[in-house]
C-alpha cells in the first residue's frame, strides 16, 4: 500500500501540471518567421483557459482556432509564405474583447509580451504559447499552438528602445570623458 502511494506521488511529480506543451521561458516576444519551401501547418496543442479565445493569422486575416471549439491535435493548413516573412498571430479574448499579438510588447494593449515563441520545439516546428489576461500573470499556459515550416527569432528593438540605448551610451561616454579630464587636471 505504501509503495503504491509512493509510486503515485513520484508519477505526479514527474508529470507537468498541464497536459499540453508550454513554450520555454525566455522566448517572450520572439517572432514567428516562415521557413519557406512548403505549407505551414498549425496544430492546436491545448489550453487551460476558461475564457473563449480565437486565434487569427494577421497576415491573411484568417481564423485559425477557437480554444473551446477545437480539440488538441486539430490542424489547419495556413498555406505557404516567402521565406523570412514574419507571421503575426492575434489572439482575441471573446470574454474581455482584448487582442494580444505575437512579437513586441508594444503590439498589446498593456505593453507586455503575451506570447512565447519557442524555436525547434519539434523538428522544423515552432511552439507558441499565449497569456490571455490583461497585465498577467504571464504564465503563458492559456493556449498553445505549433506551426511547421517556421522558426523563431528575437524581435528587433523598437525605435524608442534604440533611442534610450543611444542616450545611455552617450551618458557613459560623457562620464568617461569627464573623469579623464578631471584626472588630467589633478595630475
The pLDDT of residue 166 is 62
Give pLDDT, residue 155: 72
List 152's β-bridge partners, or say none. Answer: 32
Task: Check residue 5 and give its pLDDT.
Answer: 38
Tell me the CA end-to-end span of the chain in Å, nearest whole number. Answer: 82
Provide block-wise average pLDDT over 10 residues at a time, the chain (187 residues).
38 49 92 89 90 94 93 94 94 96 95 94 92 90 91 69 58 67 69
The model carries a pTM of 0.73
Neighbour tally for 13: CB within 10 Å: 7
Helix, coil or strand: residue 22: coil
Amino acid at each position: 500500500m505504501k509503495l503504491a502511494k509512493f509510486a503515485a506521488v513520484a508519477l505526479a511529480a514527474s508529470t507537468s501540471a498541464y497536459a499540453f506543451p508550454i513554450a520555454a521561458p525566455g522566448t517572450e516576444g520572439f517572432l514567428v518567421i516562415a521557413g519557406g519551401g512548403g505549407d505551414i501547418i498549425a496544430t492546436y496543442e491545448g489550453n487551460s483557459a476558461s475564457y473563449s479565445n480565437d486565434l487569427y493569422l494577421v497576415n491573411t486575416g484568417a481564423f485559425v482556432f477557437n480554444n473551446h471549439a477545437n480539440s488538441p491535435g486539430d490542424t489547419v493548413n495556413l498555406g505557404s509564405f516567402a521565406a523570412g516573412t514574419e507571421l503575426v498571430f492575434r489572439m482575441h479574448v471573446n470574454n474581455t474583447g482584448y487582442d494580444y499579438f505575437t512579437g513586441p510588447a508594444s503590439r498589446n494593449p498593456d505593453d507586455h509580451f503575451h506570447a512565447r515563441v519557442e524555436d525547434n520545439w519539434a523538428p522544423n516546428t515552432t511552439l507558441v504559447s499565449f497569456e490571455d489576461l490583461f497585465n498577467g500573470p504571464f504564465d503563458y499556459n492559456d493556449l498553445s499552438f505549433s506551426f511547421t515550416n517556421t522558426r523563431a527569432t528575437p524581435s528587433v528593438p523598437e525605435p524608442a528602445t534604440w533611442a534610450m540605448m543611444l542616450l545611455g551610451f552617450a551618458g557613459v561616454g560623457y562620464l568617461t570623458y569627464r573623469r579623464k579630464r578631471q584626472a588630467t587636471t589633478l595630475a
